[in-house]
Structure 1
């Protein structure tokens, strides 16, 4: 599937700790082709590549890999050093031990811990100082990076049994479904953590120097665009739909592509917590943003490419999805 789009919430977080530097904020947005007007539209989305570049540039501008969200700045190069240590481990279990041990040595506000309980493994984050109030972004982003790095180390997606957050449900909660590839997410828990099968800890690691260098060349982009052969019906339906948007396929057409009866496919999606219309809207939205932002297509051309007969209907739907007009994405170019 095409690179995903990212909720404007995460763009806002990139800039949150630069409030006294409006010129730098504007420069970073302009460099990465993100219209400032989108910051004030809570449903807006941006291309994943643009967000990845923005987060990288913000970290470099601040000299802090956690962009001011920790109790102390995290020097540039910490993640690369940890990744090199983890990539040289013989298996995933040892790699994650190294990761959690490494980040316990850095005074950044959180303590990382790896635990095994029966057939489940937990990787948790807790404040280094009891009752310290840290921004939810620090928890959600770091757990995301740990999960995606673990996937990369063994070359496959690690299905998460559950994700726990130690804060209340946020307006962008639905975004976590895509970030962690699960709907089994819980809030107001004693600690933030991800949980998965302990059997995966035995998976061997074989990372070549070339693969390591490629991963570290742009970690943020590698994380966001990561994809592996997946058993997720959400992913399969989205990929099938994206390949033929212009032909306006019906749900029955998609089911036929997947060699399933429509009732069976709906049941599979329901088990994962998704409805077909949700997937269709997201695929159309992501595809529209791609065509508007990257290919130079007009609004009318974009409407046709994603299956709309009339540009006016596309514009209405696009505003419903993002809160913005299609032309605001054209201006990013």
Structure 2
């Protein structure tokens, strides 16, 4: 069972407590004893943290948990996710959700933009003094990353995280797990950068999956792994650098036998062919949107013997021809 350091349980309720809510009422039904929160070495189950967050939402009628001057009514996250589900890509889905939150004007500005390294999420608090322990700043950035992973149906790597406050030495070991990437403190903003895969990865979730996720929210989002050490991720990284690598070559690179590599990929719910197609798709989209290469040249770069074979595959991925995709941005 996944667990979370007691510090995060202790700080989770502070916004509500500052608004007059009693800790006993906030932990009701969670199975938690607040006396444990600051006990050295104590960790609580992720499921209990999710229940605690839901209790705070309900007690304040505020999904921002008392850390902003204005409330965000329960149901806002659900609506933002519905908008994200309609995105043409994970990045587009996140941008739609961010626009909705920004229109609420509730005290947090969220920016979603493409940068040279990948996809950047930046959050700006109008009144950062309402979050003196930086709990909600970190929680909110984590939610955006995990939502990207959920939409993609796979873990998207975090590349970097920047914060405009000092390194949190009191809980840095847990912090490193939540943000498994390069860190910068005392910087100029609060932001994360995700792997460029998020820019073009399609939204792979259905309305039914969204309904199930929201029924348990924020549990499903909170339990998505922060990093991906899977075999599928390793294979994808090798194929990104060498798209024509064979099964035997990939087995050598991963230190596995071809049979074991195939078996582990099946156990993770994928195949070499699927990963290869996803790598081709992502590269094709990048080349079409950021370069001037012809469709014929892109087809050749991706290993297709004929441009029409590439065009047929691209239509299956996106529902549009490569030329139509390029024209539509």
TM-score bin (small chain): 0.5 to 0.7
Whose RCO is larger (CA < 8 A, sep 6+)? 1
Q: Counterpart of 1:215?
A: 213
Give the Cα–Cα distance (whole angstroms) in 1 for the partners of residues 226 and 27 of structure 2.
30
Q: Counterpart of 2:75?
A: 77
Contact 1:4 1:47 in 2 (8 A): yes
Q: Counterpart of 1:44?
A: 42
Give the Cα–Cα distance (whole angstroms) in 2 for the partners of residues 45 and 97 of structure 1.
34
SS at match of 2:65: coil
Q: Counterpart of 1:179?
A: 178
Q: Computing the radius of gyration over CA atoms, which structure comes out larger, 1 or 2?
A: 2
Q: Deviations over 1:270-312 (max 9, x none)?
A: xxxxxxxxxxxxxxxxxxxxxxxxxxxxxxxxxxxxxxxxxxx
CA shift, 1:72, in A, is: 1.3
Give the Cα–Cα distance (whole angstroms) in 2 for the partners of residues 103 and 175 of structure 1.
28
CA shift, 1:210, in A, is: 1.3
Among candidates 11, 14, 21, match of residue 12 of structure 2:
14
TM-score, length of structure 2 as denominator length: 0.64
Contact 2:27 2:55 in 1 (8 A): no
CA shift, 1:197, in A, is: 2.8
Contact 1:144 1:179 in 2 (8 A): yes
TM-score, length of structure 1 as denominator length: 0.64
Q: Counterpart of 2:90?
A: 92
CA shift, 1:36, in A, is: 2.5
Q: Counterpart of 2:191?
A: 193
Segments of 5+ residues of structure 2 without an aligned counterpart are 235-253, 257-329
Give the Cα–Cα distance (whole angstroms) in 1 for the partners of residues 14 and 194 of structure 2.
32
SS at match of 1:213: helix
**CA 1:232–1:191 in structure 2 vs 1: closer, same or farther (change >3 Å)?**
farther
CA shift, 1:172, in A, is: 1.1
Range moving further from structure 2, 204-213 or 193-202:
193-202
CA shift, 1:77, in A, is: 0.9
CA shift, 1:179, in A, is: 1.8
Contact 2:165 2:186 in 1 (8 A): yes
Q: Counterpart of 1:168?
A: 166
Q: CA RMSD in A?
A: 2.8
Among candidates 202, 205, 208, match of residue 204 of structure 1:
202
- The number of residue pairs the alignment matches comes to 234
Q: Counterpart of 1:142?
A: 140
Contact 1:9 1:42 in 2 (8 A): no
Q: Deviations over 1:50-93 (max 9, x none)?
A: 11111111211111111101121111111111000001212112
Among candidates 120, 123, 127, match of residue 121 of structure 2:
123
Segments of 5+ residues of structure 1 without an aligned counterpart are 237-257, 261-333
Give the Cα–Cα distance (whole angstroms) in 1 for the partners of residues 117 and 171 of structure 2.
31
